[in-house]
Chains A and B, each alone.
Chain A
Amino acid sequence: MTMQRIDIHPTHTYNQFKLRCGKPFPFGATLVPGGVNFSIFSSYATACTLVLFEKHAKAPLVEIPFPDEFRIGNVYCMTVFDLDYESLEYGYRMDGPNNFQEGQWFDSSKILMDPYAKNIGGRDVWGVHPDWNDIYHHRARIAFDDFDWEDDRPLEIPPEDQIIYEMHVRSFTQDPSSGVKEKYRGTFAGIREKIPYLKALGVNAIELMPIYEFDEFENSRPNPETGELLLNYWGYSTVGFFAPKAGYAATGKFGMQVDEFKALVKELHKNGIEVILDVVFNHTAEGNEHGPTISFRGIDNKTYYMLTPEGYYFNFSGTGNTLNCNNPIVRGMVLDCLRYWAAEYHIDGFRFDLAAILGRDPSGAPLANPPLLESLAFDPILAKCKLIAEAWDAGGLYQVGSFPAYGRWAEWNGKYRDSLRKFLKGDGNVGDVAQRLQGSPDLYAPTGRAPATSINFITCHDGFTLMDLVSYNHKHNEANGENNNDGSNDNDSWNCGWEGSTDDPGINRLRQRQIKNALALLMVSQGVPMLLMGDEMGRTKLGNNNTYCHDNALNWLDWTLVERQASLLQFCQHLIAFRQAHPVLRNPAHFQNRDYVGSGYPDISWHGTKAWYVDWSSAHILAFMLCGKHAKQGQVTDDYLYIGMNLHWQAHGFELPQLPSGMQWHVFANTGVEPPADSCHPGQETVLEDQASILLGERSVVILVGR
């Protein structure tokens, strides 16, 4: 017989509800023997009331004011016994000062969501119109957090071996062409069905655009031209940081999104695929002073948000407000949140949206030693998680190469994108491109940061898809209903001779070649390649470079492309397999530009149309060779690789560097020839007839293997 704890007995009663003073830790609602422990903090509230609902009920079941003796410091904590916690929804009312200029927004007429809510109802099924008269929209619920992980844990793939696939949960399988069962389309369950596709593609990490609970109806409005409703589709606007989006779960209608997402993570891990979450800690869904009161604003406005001296919201995020993330209390919440996702969901890494904001102080000034970033970097629970910064913000702080990293933080390398795009369109600077191809040592080596610090990408959710990058000179965002004023104007794109889709076979061939050139360079670069969902099969968004608001074919992946762009997809699969087969492409440390293993060749050498000679003033021509004996800093032996790049509009002969005796050059890929001869399975390369030189057609890239 186990001994009974005495705290299973109530000490107080309120309207027949049995209560006891709760525990301040952990914050949120926690199942305890016999009841639920509710804990919430507010620095300035003068009183707090717990509001309980039965699931989906319009009116509360009961409102229980916290007795004075249940407050410890600024924390209100209470255990309520004998609750049907499966069908329970809870919120709070907070009393306190209400003075705009002082930044105080207390209003006890509002029911507030728990910032630590682990399960949030109210938008249970995607796209179902909310009842705008509801007194409580985003409803905190209890999560069980007892998932049976068996022997699963985060995969801890070495950063330099990662190949990331950036995707949007709903967009991935919502289109009927996905072949996914209708009730699973656009959900975590849908992704699970497509794991075989991801494995065949060869990626080993998926990066999910925001999956924290958000409101797709935030700022929803009809498209002025078509009348179609424009939504907060991408979800870069968080309602609750601790809860997965119910509308992304096929079981959201049963409130089982927590289990469904965990089951997806477990299945991905079984298949060798990591899960990285795109997290948005720079602002919340409460918007500016005209936005809704959901949670933070009514609990502790002055604590959670950066405020101007007049009481308005600073807007470094470009979305209305800025989370006050270097306030010690908010910092604590962010840390609690990430620890929770790492421990409870086995998440492998996080990509931080507009991360430069996380280095600003409460008045917005950039900090030299931002405590939040430091805490995350040194946290024991997050110790093996990948931390990736989008190292800029909407307030003009650009920190690519200088993000406060503490030896831990990787960066979305915007300079890689810009440099490679210019090079591809024939407007490059080969000296700059050379830096990007070898993991941007100019940015990272001086501070001792590894090549894998650089998350290399040419396209991402923001901006053109790869197909659109070679099909449009200008953005075409009219469908967004903002007179084409939204979205970036700096795309470094080139339409190959015609704006938009065309039947011209010559232009289409050139576009295919340009896409392949981009994919080839991405996959042979040191650092971590990131592929945008659909770029492996020529996905288009019709020139729209900012599709944040479209719940339609502009965002939904068209799976008929798998057939229609079969040769492109195969080329991409070959390239990814090639990267996986060659450790010399995935070095954990920067090149030293010398021979330190006695092979007679430097680890990396640069070439042009002449071997061992580069015209660094060229905009178009560059080649490099990797010495296989230097793979992984000489720890393993690999083949020699030669990558020749001719982004000129004319063909050029490239003289090849001589291999060690007994070795020969073999062709793995040549974007200048038509498929299927453009690439092969790694290991099945055919020997090059002329070992001394190779002719590269106009705008083409060749990858050779020396063995």
Chain B
Amino acid sequence: MEINLKTVEDVKIAVLVGDVDASTAPTVTEQILPLVESHGKILLDMTGVAYMSSAGLRMLLSLYRQAAAQESQLVLIGLSEDVKDTMSVTGFLDFFQISDTVEAGLASLT
């Protein structure tokens, strides 16, 4: 699991590469949670994530809940068809704003 962080203007972008499962989810949380701030904007670029396990999806929802509590926006970028389908049928997708590309994600932020 590789996580690269960058900032574009007031938007924090985290690029994840690798599978997110029970063994990697805690690392992801550890690195991304500090990005959550009041009225902040976060893009999670998941173009490089081929598989999200149940624990991975829970990590995402937990991040979303903590971002929402601070009125932060969280956008998921570049979900693979498999990840998107899994998230859709298990209900996780209902919570998230998603975009195909980082550019589209940036444009979608208000």
A-side interface residues toward B, CB under 8 Å? 84-87, 144, 146-148, 183-184, 187-189, 192, 249-251, 254-256, 259-260, 262-263, 266-267
Contacts and interface: CB of A to CB of B under 8 A. Distances in A.
21 contacts: A84-B22, A86-B21, A86-B22, A86-B54, A86-B55, A87-B21, A144-B54, A144-B58, A146-B58, A147-B91, A148-B65, A183-B85, A250-B89, A251-B90, A254-B53, A254-B54, A259-B91, A260-B90, A263-B90, A266-B91, A267-B91
A87 B22 contact: yes
B93 to A, nearest CB: 9
Given A250-B85, A255-B54, A256-B86, A84 B23 contact: yes
Nearest to B23: A84
A209 to B, nearest CB: 20
Contacts of A188: 89
Given A148-B91, A251-B89, A259 B54 contact: yes
Contact of A259 (B23, B90, B95): B90
B49 interface: no
B16 interface: no
Nearest to B25: A86
A192 B85 CA distance: 13
Interface of B: 21-23, 53-55, 57-58, 61, 65, 85-86, 88-92, 95
Contacts of B61: 148
Contacts of A148: 61, 65, 91, 95
Contacts of B88: 189
A251 B52 CA distance: 12
A616 B3 CA distance: 81
A147 B91 CA distance: 9
B79 to A, nearest CB: 15
A254 B95 CA distance: 21
A245 B21 CA distance: 23
Given A86-B54, A144-B58, A184 B89 contact: yes
B22 A85 contact: yes
Kindly name the residue among B21, B55, B90 whose own CB sees the greatest number of chain A CB atoms within 10 A: B90
Closest 8 CB pairs of A and B: A263-B91, A86-B22, A189-B89, A259-B90, A86-B55, A260-B90, A260-B89, A263-B90
Nearest to A255: B54
B88 to A, nearest CB: 8
B91 A262 contact: yes
Kindly name the residue among A187, A192, A251 whose own CB sees the greatest number of chain B CB atoms within 10 A: A251
A344 to B, nearest CB: 14
Contacts of A262: 91
A280 B45 CA distance: 46
Contacts of B55: 86
Given A86-B21, A86-B22, A259-B57, 12 more contacts: A84-B22, A85-B22, A86-B55, A87-B21, A87-B22, A189-B89, A192-B89, A254-B53, A256-B54, A259-B54, A260-B90, A263-B90
Contacts of B58: 144, 146
Contact of B53 (A86, A147, A260, A267): A86
Contacts of B85: 183, 250
A192 to B, nearest CB: 7
Nearest to A119: B54
A254 B89 CA distance: 12
Nearest to B56: A86
Contact of A251 (B21, B86, B95): B86
A183 B82 CA distance: 10
Nearest to A253: B86
B22 to A, nearest CB: 4
Contacts of A254: 53-54, 86
A491 B61 CA distance: 52
A251 B87 CA distance: 10
A85 to B, nearest CB: 7
B58 to A, nearest CB: 7
Contact of B90 (A87, A183, A184, A256): A256
B1 to A, nearest CB: 15
A65 B54 CA distance: 30
Contacts of A260: 89-91
A257 to B, nearest CB: 9
Nearest to B93: A263
A524 B61 CA distance: 47
A1 to B, nearest CB: 17
A192 B89 CA distance: 8
A144 B22 CA distance: 12
A188 B86 CA distance: 12
Contacts of B89: 184, 187-189, 192, 249-251, 260, 263
Nearest to B55: A86
Kindly name the residue among A148, A255, A260 whose own CB sees the greatest number of chain B CB atoms within 10 A: A148
B49 to A, nearest CB: 14
Contacts of B90: 251, 256, 259-260, 263
Nearest to B88: A189
A53 to B, nearest CB: 15
Nearest to A88: B22
A85 B21 CA distance: 11
B8 to A, nearest CB: 30
Contacts of A184: 89
A147 B54 CA distance: 11
A502 to B, nearest CB: 42
A604 B92 CA distance: 51
B28 to A, nearest CB: 14
A84 B54 CA distance: 12
Contacts of B92: 259
Contacts of B54: 86, 144, 254-256, 259
A187 B91 CA distance: 15
A256 B55 CA distance: 10
Contacts of B95: 148
A248 B8 CA distance: 44
